[in-house]
């Protein structure tokens, strides 16, 4: 790869790359993000490569393994260009037909298309599918067209043109002003204006400054950063370099959590390729600006994603937060000015530079400009990563894009902001999603996890789940967080196990106040949020658990029982065979009875009993009827042969 | 070092730039309770007992006095309904671990903290870190450190170092507010100091 | 424990103390655990107090101070998997193998660990064994999946 020494040389290179790419040549893109990988995209890829060779089409069709397309529910996904034909849930056995029908014959394979559940119509083009149509994929959209291991793919789409603009046409102050003007707020959770942070770091005393990418993405259920870093690492590198220029930093770090090996691999490849071309290193594009980037892996601790903790980890010490009264922008890594931003924040920067702050500001609301990538997961039909303009309603995200609640169940709440956030109930579904509206409702934007919950979700259990998570992840340094969470968890465990007492809710609120007020870092200060928000909107569930020892959602193991209705059981043996605890007695002539001593409350019998029988009932807050005596269990059936 | 003028409990206090609220208060003879603080050690800010209310630029915040650096025109309140509530509960949380600690009991009296408010926990350490930090920063031996995280966090002696250094030092022992440190040392000594860990060796 | 391999890893980071976590990650990946000898060696080579190394090795989930089993089971406990029934799947695994998260069974066959979000929420509940993902898990399926491993 030649070293590019000037903007003009980059344009030559780009022209060269584009000249070798015919936009009308068929190209098969296969989503190869981690989720599709888990669904078998590697086998599909092998099958595609083989089939292309077999059908003698190697010169006529390109094949590209790209980053995450976002529609994770329906992976593995193939999009065929230039038409934009989208095929979902592809298996290796579908490949020969795709190649011969669609590539060769230009015919669509109907059965692989998306079917609109309400109209039953088949949709051919990716852009028409409601999941995609209602999004605004400014930052994430390129994922579908880039092989993350190829910097040329990024260049072909116009990549690194923002860096050229910055280094050859703008001063560092101008870059800073543009980012400030855009009102870009941090996408990692805090929502702090990025431009102001950059400015503080730029003006902080000291020659050596650091810029850092926080790719520690620890919120359970959130994987946007992973998909961005895996699928389009250069967008992050470009943004980081532009930020370094604006701030006056020459050393960058990318802190990636250890649980993301593919992201570590792809970002490592991207850095090497960028260095080879000279987009990183000394005298970038002949501008005289030097900048190098190092990757630092995490080792499995959520709290190390907190900015001061992350910086401590970069120093090789245990990643525990420090009191942050002096901003890390002034005293960060090695006590030097350090600017830390989230992956998505950095990836948005090239866009702002290329299209301008005014263009960016046309998206979003007054206080929250631009778009946000959310991981829409849980009890929703179209699980995946969605990018929407700030200000879209929760209802539109969950129903228009998400396709509503799975299994036809009833919506109950949507949780945002991870363990620092809260649950938002049905009454607030028309909320316009942005930083401030979410905070007003008792939650927060957080990194973008959006967990949809239905009638089967127990809200007391959700509060317990998050506190459990935090108690495991708290660094344990300060008393209010370590001990406050410990005591709150005890109370919540008691409540969900049927040992709740009058006054427990008030005790939770008391502990929440002190933990929230006195903790050293944001983990402790926001730990009470899931508890407080579930009490705020679902107090009745808490009271049912405490006063009636009943779990309205039939979830809490100690408060529920499974019971086979002897009048409905047809002794079909399905539940008996599938019970993992072998707790069901019966035979093909004897109605089945659950041995309550052995039952582990896993719910399998409830799931597998044929709907036409519907014999398994869930009970809560009431005693289980005694089993029918053995003699009465014999089923007399009409004999089949007459 | 320029001079900073701030207000603590209604009194004007002159402090030096770079001082913490705690240092400024102490210099003016104003008392703020502490547990994890020691003048020979870097402030740690983890017990949070020194939490005070501060007002600056129209905003009120709760901060740890031992690590918050003073600012011009800062208004500090070392006692208030909020502050007292926090200190009371912090003490109750710690007393669940070490109900017999004299230091904790003294403070408990002042704030009306009830040592039986929370169910007792079997560990006596309040993780103030005085022992660990003293050994690292003053003696520079690192014979004791922390292990694990969250509620499982504990202090742990490094037997190889402790067996060589501690018996002739023990300067950290007097710092421990709960006396757990001494117990931990004795336990480590009997279980792990001897290189031969066979039952006969342990009996010695 | 291969001393040369360890030296190689340490030298990759030029003996820089701030690379402590990276060094330990490298060794953990090679040996599947961190023995006392290894910790002592790293302490000497990187000139970092053993107390700090011990804290790092126990603070982070990636490190194990005891040998792990032949097959590492990771069960995702992310929020999406949680509400789709991961706790029940975990219960079943625990009952079947007889160990809890963080433990290894006596034959050193299985090690069990919970992880917070593998990023495959569409497939939840997810169980990962030796890098292979098993999606849409249910208590009834656990036995089937695990009996393939010896």
pLDDT for residue A337 is more than 50: yes
The pLDDT value given to residue A639:
61
Nearest residue of chain A to residue C22 (CA atoms): A297
Query: Which residues, in sequence order, are bridge partners of residue A584?
Result: A594
Predicted confidence (pLDDT) at residue A525 exceeds the cutoff of 90: yes
Q: Which domain holds residue B135?
A: 130-203
B151 touches chain C (CB under 8 A): no
Q: What share of chain C is helix, strand, coil (3-state, %, to 5)?
A: 50, 15, 40
Rounded Cα distance, A315 and A311, in Å: 7
Q: Determine the residue of chain C that is closest to A406 in CA distance.
A: C84
Rounded CA gap, A360 and A605, in Å?
A: 53
Peptide bond into A12 cis (omega under 30): no
Nearest CA in chain B to A511: B89
> Is B100 inside any structural domain?
no
Contact list, B132 vs chain C (CB under 8 Å): 51
What is the rounded (10 degree) CA torsion for A52, A55, A59, A61? -50
pLDDT in tens, B148-175: 999 999 999 999 999 999 999 999 999 9
Whether A583 contacts A599, CB under 8 Å:
yes
The Cα A123–Cα A114 span in angstroms is: 5
**Cβ-Cβ contacts under 8 Å, A513 against chain B:** 85
Query: What's the mean pLDDT in A386-403?
Result: 96
A319 has pLDDT over 60: yes
Q: Is residue B146 part of a domain?
A: yes
State the Cα–Cα distance between residues A220 and A118, nearest whole angstrom.
32
What angle is formed at CA B174 by the lines to CA B171 and CA B179, rounded to 5 degrees? 125
H-assigned helices in chain B: 21-27, 81-95, 102-111, 130-133, 159-165, 180-192, 199-203
CATH of the domain at B64: 3.10.20.740
Share of chain C above pLDDT 90, in %: 61
| Alpha carbon distance A370, A138 (integer Å) | 9
**The pLDDT value given to residue B81:** 97
| Res B21 pLDDT > 60 | yes
Neighbours of chain A (3+ CB pairs under 8 A): B, C
Look over chain C and give the mean of its residue pLDDT values, rounded to a whole number.
90
Confidence of residue B197 (pLDDT cuts 50, 70, 90): very low
Mean pLDDT, range A19-48, rounded to an integer: 92
Average predicted confidence (pLDDT) for chain A: 94
Which among A400, A395, A403, A344 has a CA at the least distance from the CA of A370?
Answer: A344
Domain count, chain B: 2
Residue finishing a domain among B37, B62, B79: B79
Q: pLDDT value at position C1?
A: 62
Cross-chain residue pair A221–C126, CB shorter than 8 Å: no
CB < 8 Å to B143, chain C: 51
**Residue extent(s) of CATH 3.40.30.10 domains in chain C:** 71-146
Report the CATH number that the domain containing residue B157 is assigned in CATH: 3.30.70
In the CATH scheme, what architecture does the domain C71-146 have? Answer: 3-Layer(aba) Sandwich (3.40)
Residue of A nearest to C16 (CA): A316
Q: Is C50 in contact with B161 (Cβ distance < 8 A)?
A: yes
Domains of chain A: 7-129 (3.40.30.10), 159-361 (3.40.50.11540), 371-454 (3.10.20.600), 459-548 (1.20.1440.230), 557-633 (3.30.70.20)
State the helix-helix crossing angle for C139-146 and C86-97, rounded to 10 degrees.
Answer: 40
pLDDT of residue B194: 65
> Interface partners of B (3+ CB pairs, < 8 Å)?
A, C
Q: Collect all residues with Cβ–Cβ distance below 8 Å to A447 and sequence separation of at least 6.
A: A187, A188, A189, A217, A219, A222, A224, A225, A342, A418
CA distances from A526 to A79, A189, A419, A466 (A): 42, 12, 8, 11
Give B5's strand partners: B14
Chain B residue numbers with beta carbons less than 8 Å from the beta carbon of A472 are: 150
Residue B150 lies in a domain: yes
Q: Note the ipTM here.
A: 0.93
CA distance A435 to A456: 28
pLDDT > 50? residue A99: yes
pLDDT for C132? 83
- Token representation of residue B59: 């905003």
Q: Is residue B124 part of a domain?
A: no
With a pLDDT cut of 70, the percent of chain A lying above it is: 99
What's the whole-model pTM score? 0.93
- Please indicate, yes or no, if residue B195 is contained in any of the structural domains: yes
**Cβ contacts (< 8 Å) between B118 and chain A: which residues?**
487
End-to-end CA gap in chain A? 83
pLDDT tens string A439-473: 999 999 999 999 999 999 999 999 999 999 999 99
**Is residue B136 located within the same domain as residue B198?**
yes
Q: Report how far residue A291's alpha carbon sits from residue A151's, in angstroms, rounded to the nearest whole number.
A: 18
Structural domain contains residue B91: no
Interchain pair C59, A314: CB under 8 A: no
Inform me whether the pLDDT recorded for B89 exceeds 80: yes
Q: Is the peptide bond between A76 and the residue preceding it cis, with omega within 30 degrees of 0?
A: yes
Element (H, E) at A507: helix A504-518
Residue B84 structure tokens? 């007292």
Q: What is the pLDDT of residue A642?
A: 45
Task: Nearest chain C residue to A297 by CA: give it.
Answer: C22
DSSP secondary structure letters along C100-117: -TT-B-TTS-EEEEEES-
Nearest to B151 among A471, A478, A517 (CB): A471
Name the band, by pLDDT with cuts 50, 70 and 90, for residue B204.
very low
Cβ of B161 under 8 Å from any chain C Cβ?
Answer: yes
Place of tokens 């968890």: A489
**pLDDT band (50, 70, 90) for residue C83:** confident
> By the CB < 8 Å criterion, does B127 face chain C?
no
Chain A residues close to C53, C-beta within 8 Å: none
DSSP string, A268-321: HHHHHHHHHHTSSBSSGGGSS--BEEEEEE--S-GGGGSHHHHHHHHTTS----
C24 contacts A38? CB cut-off 8 A: no
Window from A99-108, A248-257, A346-355, A356-365 with minimum mean pLDDT: A99-108
The dihedrals phi and psi of A296, each to the nearest 5 degrees, come to: -125, 125
Query: Which pLDDT score is estimated for B195?
Result: 58
In this complex, do B151 and A486 lie within 8 Å of one another by their Cβ atoms?
yes
For A315, nearest residue in chain C (alpha carbons): C18
Q: How far is A490 from chain B (nearest CA, A)?
A: 10
> What are the tokens at B64?
């740890």
Q: How confident is the model at residue B198 (pLDDT cuts 50, 70, 90)?
A: very low
Contact A313 C117 (CB under 8 A): no
Cis peptide before A82 (omega within 30 of 0): yes
User: What distance in Å separates the CA atoms of residue C142 and residue B185, rounded to the nearest whole number?
Assistant: 45
Q: Is B104 on the interface with C (CB under 8 A)?
A: no
């Amino acid at each position: 790869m030649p070293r590019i020494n000037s903007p003009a040389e980059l344009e030559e290179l780009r022209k060269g790359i584009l000249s070798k790419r015919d936009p009308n040549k068929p190209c098969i893109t296969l989503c190869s993000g981690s989720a599709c990988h888990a669904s078998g995209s590697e086998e599909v890829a092998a099958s595609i490569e083989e089939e292309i060779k077999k059908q003698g089409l190697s010169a006529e069709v390109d094949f590209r393994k790209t980053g995450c397309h976002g529609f994770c529910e329906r992976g593995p996904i193939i999009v065929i260009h230039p038409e934009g034909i989208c095929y979902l849930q592809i298996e290796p056995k579908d490949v020969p037909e795709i190649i011969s029908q669609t590539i060769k014959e230009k015919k669509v394979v109907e059965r692989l298309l998306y079917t609109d559940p309400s109209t039953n119509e088949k949709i051919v083009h990716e852009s028409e599918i409601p999941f995609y149509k209602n999004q605004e994929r400014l930052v994430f959209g390129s994922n579908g067209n880039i092989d993350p291991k190829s910097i040329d793919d990024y260049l072909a789409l116009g990549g690194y043109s923002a860096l050229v603009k910055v280094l050859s046409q703008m001063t560092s102050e101008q870059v800073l002003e543009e980012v400030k003007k855009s009102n870009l707020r941090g996408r990692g959770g805090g929502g702090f204006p990025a431009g102001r942070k950059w400015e503080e770091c730029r003006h902080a005393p000291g020659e050596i400054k650091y810029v850092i990418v926080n790719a520690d993405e620890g919120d359970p259920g959130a994987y946007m950063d992973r998909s961005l870093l895996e699928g389009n690492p250069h967008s992050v590198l470009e943004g980081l370099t532009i930020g370094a220029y604006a701030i006056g930093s020459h050393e960058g770090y990318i802190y990636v959590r250890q649980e993301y090996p593919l992201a570590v691999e792809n970002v490592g490849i991207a850095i090497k390729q960028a260095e080879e071309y000279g987009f990183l290193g000394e005298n970038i594009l002949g501008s005289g600006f030097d900048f190098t980037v190092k990757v630092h892996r995490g080792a499995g601790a959520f709290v190390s994603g907190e900015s001061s903790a992350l910086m401590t980890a970069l120093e090789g010490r245990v990643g525990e937060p420090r009191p942050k009264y002096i901003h890390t922008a002034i005293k960060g890594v090695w006590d030097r000015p350090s600017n830390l931003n989230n992956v998505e924040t950095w990836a948005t920067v090239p866009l702002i530079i290329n299209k301008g702050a005014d263009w960016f500001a046309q998206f979003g609301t007054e206080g929250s400009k631009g778009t946000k990538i959310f991981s829409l997961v849980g009890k929703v039909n179209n699980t995946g990563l969605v990018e929407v303009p700030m200000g879209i309603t929760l209802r539109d995200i969950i129903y228009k894009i998400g396709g509503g609640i799975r299994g036809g169940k009833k919506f109950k709440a949507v949780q945002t902001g991870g363990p620092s956030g809260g649950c938002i109930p049905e009454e607030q579904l028309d909320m316009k999603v942005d930083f401030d509206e979410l905070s007003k409702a008792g939650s927060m934007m957080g990194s973008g996890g959006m967990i949809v919950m239905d009638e089967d979700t127990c809200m007391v259990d959700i509060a317990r789940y998050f506190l459990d998570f935090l108690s495991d992840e708290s660094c344990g340094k300060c008393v209010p967080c370590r001990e406050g969470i410990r005591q709150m968890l005890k109370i919540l465990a008691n409540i969900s196990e049927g040992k709740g007492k009058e006054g427990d809710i008030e005790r939770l609120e008391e502990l929440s106040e002190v933990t929230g007020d006195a903790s050293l870092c944001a983990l402790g200060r926001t730990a009470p949020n899931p508890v407080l928000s579930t009490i705020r909107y679902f107090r009745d569930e808490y009271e049912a658990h405490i006063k009636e020892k009943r779990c309205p959602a039939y979830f809490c193991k100690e408060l529920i029982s499974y019971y086979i209705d002897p009048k409905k059981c047809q002794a079909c043996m399905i539940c008996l065979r599938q019970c993992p605890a072998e707790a069901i007695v019966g035979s093909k002539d004897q109605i089945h009875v659950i041995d309550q001593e052995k039952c582990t409350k896993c719910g399998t019998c409830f799931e597998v009993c044929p709907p036409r029988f519907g014999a398994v009932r869930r009970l809560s807050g009431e005693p289980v009827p005694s089993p029918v005596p053995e003699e009465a269990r014999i089923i007399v059936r009409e004999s089949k042969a007459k | 070092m320029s001079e900073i003028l701030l207000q603590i409990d209604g009194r004007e206090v002159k402090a030096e730039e770079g001082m913490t609220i705690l240092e400024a208060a102490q210099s003016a003879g104003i008392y703020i309770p502490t547990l994890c603080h020691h003048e020979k050690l870097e402030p740690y800010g983890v017990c949070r007992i020194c939490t005070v209310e501060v007002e600056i630029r129209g905003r009120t915040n709760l901060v740890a006095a031992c690590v918050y650096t003073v600012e011009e025109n800062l208004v500090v309140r070392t006692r208030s309904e909020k502050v007292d509530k926090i200190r009371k509960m912090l003490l109750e949380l710690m007393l669940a671990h070490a109900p017999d600690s004299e230091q904790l009991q003294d403070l408990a009296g002042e704030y009306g903290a009830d040592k039986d408010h929370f169910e007792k926990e079997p560990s006596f350490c309040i993780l103030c870190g005085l022992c660990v930090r003293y050994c690292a920063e003053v003696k520079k031996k690192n014979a004791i450190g922390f292990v694990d995280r969250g509620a499982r966090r504990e202090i742990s002696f490094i037997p190889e170092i402790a067996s060589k250094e501690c018996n002739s030092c023990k300067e950290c022992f007097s710092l421990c507010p709960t006396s757990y440190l001494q117990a931990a040392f004795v336990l480590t000594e009997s279980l792990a100091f001897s290189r031969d860990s066979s039952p006969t060796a342990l009996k010695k | 424990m291969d001393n040369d391999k360890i030296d190689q890893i340490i030298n990759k980071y030029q003996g820089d103390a701030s690379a402590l976590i990276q060094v330990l990650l490298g060794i953990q990946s090679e040996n599947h655990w961190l023995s006392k000898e290894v910790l002592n060696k790293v302490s000497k080579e990187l000139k970092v107090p053993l107390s700090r190394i011990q804290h790092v090795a126990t603070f982070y989930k990636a490190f194990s101070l005891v040998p792990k089993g032949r097959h590492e089971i990771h069960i995702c406990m992310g929020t999406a998997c949680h509400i789709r029934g991961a706790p029940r799947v975990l219960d079943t695994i625990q009952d079947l193998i007889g160990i809890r998260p963080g433990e290894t069974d006596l034959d050193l066959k299985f090690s069990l660990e919970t992880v917070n979000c593998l990023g495959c929420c569409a497939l939840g509940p997810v169980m990962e064994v030796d890098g292979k993902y098993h999606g849409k898990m249910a208590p009834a399926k656990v036995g089937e999946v695990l009996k393939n491993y010896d």
